[in-house]
Amino acid sequence: MSRKLEKLYRRIQKLTGNIKSSEVSDVFTDIFSESTHFLNKFNRSDLASKIPNKKYFVFDTGRKISRAINADIYLPAIGDWLALVHAIHNNDRPRLSSEKINRAIYCLAISFCAAIDLTKSGDQKTPGTFFEYLIGHLFSARLGINPRTNLPVLNLDMNTTLPTDYVFDLGPNQAKFHLPIKTSTRERVIQVWAHQRVLDGVYGTGRFWGTPVILAETKTDSRKREVIEICLPEQWRIYQMHIAQLKRIYYLDVPAAYARLNEVFPPLCVKPFGDFFGEVDILISPLS
């Protein structure tokens, strides 16, 4: 990646101890402008989209292409991002629509990932970790508390700690959140339900809301210049019935096949992540 982008990424890594801070927002703001600036040097090529009603393109260096980018969501507006983080840190309800919030976060996330795609080979880790920081930051800034990544387990003759994804504990009689964060899930998604099941088992069902946040489920065939979405909706329904119940599944780019799960049994609420900022106060209430 560009030297500047690398430096900014390192800066985020150093600040993760207080990931909710407005200082972290400021670094993300710089990453937003630097990534989109970097990508503007390259051509955009349209992909043949096999997904009904969704258009995708890639940034193209001539030698390498980025991951697929949703053309309807990728409209970088740094002003919306600034309005979002300003509202969050001032405990205001953001005045932006859920759609604009979602778009701003998508643009920031996908532009950084695309910049990595164009400059590094086979680096899955940096985009994944970056995305985890970004969503972890927004979630914790909105809730006003930092996450933890392990929980004590006291169970008669056991006394140990359970490593977890980010979890947020708002205190007695308040909601607790279980926040897995992934750039895509594929067949590994069963882990999210399994971790939720463990939390339900150890701390009681309903104690933690499982609210995974996922970037997208696109897969690009770089030879054919085609994009598809890899979705396993029937398996999700089985997991939601038989492993544990997730409260929300947020996407920045909601896959068509998962959006339809909102209409069938079992209840499985798949939404754009932009919706979170408006509905979190309802989710927090213990009887939601």
Give residues in contact with its own copies (CB under 8 A).
Answer: 153, 155, 157-158, 160, 162-163, 188, 190-191, 193-195, 197-198, 200-202, 234-235, 237-239, 241-243, 264-265
Least separation in angstroms between CB 194 and its own copies: 4
Tell me whether residue 143 is exposed, middle or buried, using C-beta atoms within 10 angstroms of its C-beta: 0 to 12, 13 to 18, 19 or more: buried
- Residues 112 and 131: their CA atoms lie apart, in Å, by 9
Three-state DSSP class for residue 119? helix
**Terminal CA-CA length for the chain:** 43
Closer residue to its own copies (CB): 20 or 195:
195
Closer residue to its own copies (CB): 78 or 243:
243
Given a contact cutoff of 8 angstroms between Cβ atoms, the answer to whether 145 and 170 are in contact is yes
Least separation in angstroms between CB 87 and its own copies: 37
Least separation in angstroms between CB 39 and its own copies: 29
Least separation in angstroms between CB 200 and its own copies: 8
Of the candidates 234, 170, 237, 184, the residue with the CA atom closest to the CA atom of residue 212: 184
Closer residue to its own copies (CB): 92 or 234:
234
Least separation in angstroms between CB 232 and its own copies: 9
Q: Where are the alpha helices (DSSP H) in the chain?
A: 3-15, 22-39, 78-89, 98-119, 125-143, 190-203, 233-242, 256-259, 276-284
Closer residue to its own copies (CB): 180 or 272:
180
Of the candidates 99, 82, 109, the residue with the CA atom closest to the CA atom of residue 184: 109
Closer residue to its own copies (CB): 7 or 207:
207
Least separation in angstroms between CB 205 and its own copies: 11
Three-state DSSP class for residue 95? coil
Tally helices (H) and strands (E) across the chain: 9, 14
Closer residue to its own copies (CB): 48 or 264:
264
Least separation in angstroms between CB 182 and its own copies: 14
Closer residue to its own copies (CB): 30 or 203:
203
Of the candidates 141, 201, 133, 192, the residue with the CA atom closest to the CA atom of residue 168: 141
Instruction: Label residues 3-24 b or e (16+ Cβ within 10 Å = b).
Output: eebeebbeebeebeeebbbeeb
